[in-house]
Every structure is written in structure tokens, then in C-alpha cells.
Amino acid sequence: MRTHIHIIFGKNHQIQGGIKNTDVRRKGFISSCTTSKGGVDGDSMDEFERAVEEIYEALEGNMDREEIRKTLRKWIVGYKLSLDEAKRGIIVNYGGSNKLLDGKFKKLNELRAGEGRLNLRVKVLSINEKVHGEGETRKKYYYGMVGDDTAVLPFTAWNLNVNIRKGDCIEIKNAYTKEWRGQIQVTIGQNTRVEILPPDSVKVRSEIRKAKVKDLHPRMGLVEVAGKILNVEKRTIVVDGNERDIYTGIFADDTGEIPFTSWDTPVEKGSTLRISGAYVSTFRGMPQLVFDSRSTIREENMEIKIKETPVPIESLEGKGGFNVLLEGVIIDVKDGSGLIYRCPECGRVISGSGCPVHGRVKPVADLRIKAILDDGTGAVMCLFNREQTEKILGKSLEEVIDMVKDNLGNPSVILDMVEDKLIARPMKVRGNVMNDEKYGLRMLIKDFEMINMDDIAKKAEKMLDEMGW
């Protein structure tokens, strides 16, 4: 939301000067964004489609969607009704009930992306005004944070029927949600009604939560963290026709590291900062810390000792982690490990000499391992590249190819060897763990170390000695 919310266009808004997704994407900043169908005039288009869906549901499928679209257009254009009036009119006219439209009250922590007809009771924690577009398409909108007793979320208001100020408790009817940069946002549109409630009628969960890096996860609202900028890089990107400076890098405290993005606010490498009012989003399957000019950033003298303690795999479930250390045992080696062949054009793993995309190609030999590491709390799929696989096997790619030749071209001899070397072996691994809804947790190995069994045996012996066994 903050500054990059322009993706949500207000009603009667042209795309002119809209966010240049391609520009931003090319620079590698946006992994996913939810633009509406067609991209033009997104907000009103979405509202129209949402109305179609609501009518469809209220009429219990007795009118198909295309027919509803046509009718709705006719009522709006022909009868000069607002979208909401037309929607309710059509439902009654065609024998449906408007009761379903009234929605129900939800808590902020229940919200998911793409929800409509939401009723909320929240407190306005911050509100800012901004102008979007120029000339005829100039439009004022508001953005900020709202909270209730379960969470704190950003909001955007394209239309406000009452003036709201910071600290107001409000009831919002018929709002909807959007997702942007991994954050759920409450959106107040043309058909949303806002009412001021008595002061302090909404309790807010501690507005800013102090947190350690290892505990940061999306959906936790505003956080305060203290740590060190390990490295930082400045870039300028174009958002909504305006150049914006962003600073990206790695932030760390004594529990771990996390990538960060600072909008417009410069930070320096090596400085130790207390950042209050930041939030956590998801980027490339990992948590990311985001802060901007509304966050409070203070230099503070502190010793940051980054401990090399392994994190429990369980703590990464559903969020992933940046540059984490894990310790566990390899319990399985997946098929497709060992000697493989790739398409020289696209890098896809192929069998025979055909790539599904590039047809007949000259396959390129490669080595990799896909293995499951388990630490007793959970499991991660570890991906080892060619160099790492060579190290584990103690053989070069060329030697491996020769071995396969000697084995009548059957590469299973290498898979067997990988299994021999890895299964039931304790290991320390370091790398980025990506959370993937489909594949679960996957780590791209940066570093790994076999834990010496003798050391463990000696340690155990020593411990038993000390315990008097």
C-alpha cells in the first residue's frame, strides 16, 4: 500500500501514468502482483465483476453471468443507476434476495486476498492523503493502517463518505481486499460505506510488535526490529510515472538475516538501526522486511553478534527463510539425482535427446542432488548443484560420465553412490529456504558440511562419562 499502491486504480481512472509493472519487474522487484483483468480502470472493473458475481449468487444461478453483465450494463447506462442500486434492483426484479448482500463482520486476521462484501470494525492508526494522476485524471486518495484486536493491516480509500482521522474508530461496510507485495490490504471503494464509531470502541492489538528476525513472518502487522545493515544497494525505479529510490539489502540481528526494502529512506551499510513500524511481506518464497518514510528509523549503538545456531525446520513452515543454517539427517535421495542431461537452450532436464520445447538438441551433462533433510521438527528438500555433488561423490563430472559408460550407460550407478554417501548421514546445510505452496520447503544449498560421526561418538562418550555411566 504505502507508496506502491497505485496498482489499484480508482473509479473513472485511466491507466495513463499507471505503474510500469514491466519496468519494476525487469529490475527484479516484484514477484507477483494482482492487477485486475485487462489492467485498465482496475478498481471499477473489479467492482463490476464483483457485482456480477454477487447477482449470480443471489439469483442462485438462474441467470448466467454474461446475461447478468448485459443486464447490469443496461441498468447502469439506461436507467442511470449506481452500480449498487442496479445490483440490488436486478436481484429483486429477477426474484432473488438482497439479504445475502449484507455481508458479515470479520476480524482483520481472517482476511484473505480477493474477498468482497466485507464488514469491519477497526481503528485508524494512520492516514495519509495522496494525489494520483495529472490533469483530468487527477484523483485524491487515502492510505494508511487500520487495526483491530487481531491484526494491523494497510488500507486504501478511493472514496470516503465521511472524513476520518487518525485515532477514529470506524465501521466499514462492503469493503474488499487486495494483495500487493505479499500483503493483504483493505480497500474502500465506491460502494463502501464508512461510519464513525464512539471513541475507543475498537481495541487494537499492540500497534507495533517488537520482534526478532527469526520470528518475522507476513501477516504479523507492524513490527519493531533492531539490527545491522549488512549490505545495501540503491536503485531507482519508476512507480506510477514517478521515480522512486529504493534501498535493498540484508538486515540482521543476533537470530538471523532477512532481505529488506526501504522505500525512499536511505540506510547505510554497517549501521545499526532500530526500525519501528516496518512490516513483513513475502518475496520469492521468503519473508522480506519493508519500511518507508512512515517508519521510525533510529541509529542505535549495539553489538550485533550473529550466532551460528541452526534453526528448527518447523519454524520455516509456511514462510521460508533467508540464509538459514539447518542441522539434520538426510533421510531420502530423490530420483533425478546424480548424472542428468539438460537442454542446452533452456536448461530443462531431459531424457533422450529431445526437449519438450526445443525438440532434438545436443544434451549437456550435469550433476545434481535432490535430498530430504530431516531435523526431527520438519523436513526440507535440499538442492545440491554440480560442484557440490562432485564434492560429495569425490568425483568430477568427467569421471562420473566414464563410470556410467563402464556401467553400460546406466546412470543408476551414480544414484546408488549418492545414496550410499548421503542417506542417514548427519549434515549442516546453509542456504535460502523457499516456501512453495506446491512443493513445500526447498533449500538451494550455499554451503554444506558433513558432521563427522566420530566426533558425535566421542561427544556422546564424553557426555556419558560426565554423567558417570
Contact positions vs Zn ion (CB under 5 A): 343, 345-346, 348, 355, 357-358
The least CB distance from residue 363 to Zn ion, in Å, is 10
Nearer to Zn ion, 346 or 364 (CB): 346
Q: Residue 203 has what DSSP assignment? A: -
Q: Which is nearer to Zn ion, 118 or 355 (CB)?
A: 355
Q: Cα(5)–Cα(285) distance, rounded to whole angstroms? A: 21
Which helix (H) or strand (E) element contains residue 263?
A: strand 256-263
If you compute the radius of gyration of the chain from its CA atoms, what whole number of angstroms results? 28
Instruction: Give me the least distance between CB of 336 and Zn ion, in Å please.
Output: 16
* Spatial separation of the C-alpha atoms in residues 207 and 276, rounded to whole Å: 10
Helices (H) and strands (E) in the chain, counts: 8, 23
Distance of closest approach, residue 346 Cβ to Zn ion, in angstroms: 3
Cα gap 152→185, rounded to integer Å = 10
Residue of minimal CB distance from Zn ion? 343
By C-beta, is 299 or 345 nearer to Zn ion?
A: 345
72 close to 55: Cβ distance less than 8 angstroms: yes
Backbone angles phi, psi at 321, to 5 degrees: -165, 150
Q: How far is the CB of 360 from Zn ion (least distance, A)?
A: 10
Amino acid in position 325: L
Contacts of 406 (CB under 8 A, 6+ apart): none
Smaller CB separation from Zn ion, 112 or 362: 362
- Comparing CB distances to Zn ion, the nearer of 354 and 376 is 354
Quote the least distance from Cβ 340 to Zn ion, whole Å.
14
Would you put residue 182 in left (φ > 0), alpha (ψ -120 to 50) or beta?
left
Cell of 12: 473513472
CB of 355 to Zn ion, least distance (A): 3
Quote the least distance from Cβ 357 to Zn ion, whole Å. Answer: 5
Residue among 253, 62, 298, 83 nearest 174 (CA):
83
Which is closer to Zn ion, CB of 318 or CB of 336? 336
Q: Which is nearer to Zn ion, 24 or 361 (CB)?
A: 361
